[in-house]
Amino acid sequence: MGWFVDVRSMFPYVSGGCLTPIIRTMFSMGATKVSILLFYRRVLSRTSGKRFHWINNATIGAILIYSVTCFFQLIFKCYPVQAFWLRYSRNPPYTASYRCANEGAGMISYSAISAVSDFWIAVLPLFFLRRMQMPQRQKWALAALFGLGFM
């Protein structure tokens, strides 16, 4: 096979035309990231300044924009739209002409942006943890708790 692997062979639910698991996964990942950022806002609201709130709100906005963009990119990947799931139908076969964007590029870019945002969300509270007025041992324990985001 080499380096050129068809996306449909790696993700059988895409080749089956079932969009529901993909959309559900994209929505739940975005919602989970936003909920973690809202938790940070609640926990660190009294100890951090305007800078943290600005960074946190900007991150929430970026996650929402990126999630909505990826959702619509997935839905409107083919023209006409129904060709995305009907092109794999066998009974009756889809015979109309259609064009689709590169599926692999969309999934790779979504995965890369998701990995970067996961790293950013895990590192974000560590910048503000050093300013908190608490014993050093508690800071290390809290850093370890926030560090669980890397696992």
Q: Which of 48, 42, 40, 15 is nearest to 120 (CA)?
A: 40
pLDDT tens digits, 112-143: 999 999 999 988 888 777 777 888 898 888 88
Asked if residues 94 and 87 have their Cβ atoms less than 8 Å apart, the reply is yes
Q: Where are the domains of the chain?
A: 7-124
pLDDT tens digits, 25-70: 888 999 999 999 998 888 877 777 788 889 999 999 999 999 999 8
Q: What share of the chain is helix, strand, coil (3-state, %, to 5)?
A: 70, 5, 25
Tokens at 12, concatenated: 């059988």
Position with higher pLDDT, 2 vs 63? 63
- Rounded-to-10 torsion of CA 40, 43, 48, 50: 60
DSSP characters over 1-67? -TT---HHHH-HHHHTT--HHHHHHHHHHHHHHHHHHHHHHHHTTTTS-HHHHHHHHHHHHHHHHHH
The structure's pTM equals 0.73
Nearest 5°: phi and psi at 79? -125, 120
Q: Which of 37, 44, 28, 32 is nearest to 58 (CA)?
A: 37
Residue 141 CB neighbours (<10 A)? 12
